Amino acid sequence: MGLNKLVADLCGRPVIAHVVDAVHEAELPSPIVVLGHQPAAIAGAIGQRSVQYVSAPDYAEGLSRSLAAGIAAVPDDWTAAIVCLGDMPLVKPGLLRQIAFQASSEAIVIPVGTQGRGNPVAWGRSHFSLLRGLSGDRGGKALFPQLETAIIEVRCEDESILLDADTPAGLGRIHDVMSSKTVP
């Protein structure tokens, strides 16, 4: 991207701030934010919002290491954790509430739109050890085939679950959607 996508300006706020704000608006517990690349910039972009920070010093080994750090920080009294991606600022608080409502210690709750499965995904505690055991640049999706019977799909009427800011074009598309106040 040429810049840290999580701190890129998106309609007056950093990309990551939109995600943290959606979690708060959904009235879920304060999110656990995994810091890897440019931790000071990420913390600065989040500002005074209520979050718990955890470090992933081995983040450069791939997505799996950041996921493992976040899952390891989940409080013991949580039955599940919703893994929200910091570069997906269009996910709505209502969808987060819907996912949380379906979550349990055994379930994997995935939003599904017209173009397939997306993010965020709620992972029940019984799957945490598998998530921590992933390696390389793989996330939880790599586990779906072996855990199909645990999956609950939640219908999502828009494509916010698929739109991320991985590229300048992706960020531009998200900006266009936010500016028009509709999600395709």
Question: pLDDT tens, position by position, for the chain (184 residues)?
Answer: 567 899 999 999 999 999 999 999 999 999 999 999 999 999 999 999 999 999 999 999 999 999 999 999 999 999 999 999 999 999 999 999 999 999 999 999 999 999 999 999 999 999 999 999 999 999 999 999 999 999 999 999 888 999 999 888 989 899 998 888 655 5
pTM over 0.85: yes
* Phi and psi, residue 55, nearest 5°: -95, 140
**How far, in Å, CA of 157 to CA of 160, rounded?**
9
Residues in the chain: 184
Which residue blocks in the chain are alpha helix, DSSP H?
A: 15-25, 39-46, 63-72, 93-102, 128-132, 168-180
* Class of domain 5-180 as given by CATH: alpha beta
